[in-house]
């Protein structure tokens, strides 16, 4: 079992931005897909959620949070889970694909 005793406790200051969020008080089902939602229904719901995000004064903080903790579900900061994963995947691939210096061979 994981030992969580070393982790810091919750810090309300880190979440204050949520108090100013445009989505505060909006039904969360707009931002999180129901089981099995696909196609046009999902695209439409996500577009509506993104409209809320686009007028949000704390959109940048929300997006940064979602990327930092790798939120697995929902629209956060105007990005769907697929968009966040694509962005994170690209960043990770850039780091992995950086060519390493070739080791110099010893000269005798």
pLDDT digits (tens, 9 = 90+) for 43-77: 999 999 999 999 999 999 999 999 988 999 999 99
Report whether 63 belongs to an annotated binding site. Answer: no
**Confidence band for 106, pLDDT divided at 50, 70 and 90:** low
**Confidence band for 105, pLDDT divided at 50, 70 and 90:** low
pTM score over 0.85 = no
Report whether 62 belongs to an annotated binding site. Answer: yes
**What count of other Cβ atoms lies within 10 Å of the Cβ of residue 51?**
13
**Confidence band for 103, pLDDT divided at 50, 70 and 90:** low
- CA gyration radius for the chain? 20
Q: Structure tokens of 93?
A: 């691939």
Q: Which of 65, 67, 66 is nearest to 89 (CA)?
A: 67
**DSSP SS3 for 98:** coil
Question: Beta partners for 89?
Answer: none
Report whether 107 belongs to an annotated binding site. Answer: no
Question: Beta partners for 79?
Answer: 76
**DSSP SS3 for 74:** coil
Report whether 53 belongs to an annotated binding site. Answer: yes
């Amino acid at each position: 079992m994981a030992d969580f005793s070393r982790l810091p406790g919750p810090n309300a200051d880190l979440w204050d931005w949520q108090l100013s969020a445009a989505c505060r008080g909006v039904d969360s089902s707009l931002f999180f897909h129901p089981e099995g939602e696909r196609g046009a229904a999902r695209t439409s719901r996500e577009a509506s959620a993104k409209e809320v995000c686009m007028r949000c004064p704390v959109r940048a903080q929300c997006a940064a949070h979602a990327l930092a903790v790798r939120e697995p579900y929902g629209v956060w900061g105007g990005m769907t889970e697929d968009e966040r994963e694509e962005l994170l995947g690209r960043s990770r691939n850039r780091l992995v694909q950086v060519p390493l210096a070739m080791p110099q061979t010893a000269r005798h």
